[in-house]
Amino acid sequence: MTLAAGTYTVKCYAKAATAGGGAVAPGYVPIVSGKAGTYVYGSYVNNLSTSTWSEVTYTFTLAAESTICLVVNNSKTPGKDVLVDDFTFTQNK
C-alpha cells in the first residue's frame, strides 16, 4: 500500500499455537521499484502462551510518501507456531 508521510500504528493480538511458547514483532517492509527493502520491526512480545491472547502494538513514522507491506515476524527463537487475530492498522492524527 502507498501511504502519505505520517505516523501509523499496527495492533493485533497473538498467542502461541503450540506448547513451547512463541514470540512476534509487528512491522513493515518498504517496497522500492517492486522489490522488498529492509524490514523494520517493533519490539518482540515474548513468552506467548497457548491460554492468553497478548496485545501487540507498533507505532512508526514515515518521513515521506512510501509504499510498504505490513508484516508480523514470528521469531526463530523459540520458532513455534503462533496465532494472530484482530489486526488493525490506523493513521495517528
pTM, rounded to two decimals: 0.91
Per-residue confidence of the chain (93 residues) as pLDDT tens digits? 999 999 999 999 999 999 888 999 999 999 999 999 999 999 999 999 999 999 999 999 999 999 999 999 998 888 889 999 999 999 998
Cβ neighbors of 77 (< 8 A, separation 6 or more) are 23
Planar angle of CA 50, 52, 53, nearest 5 degrees: 105
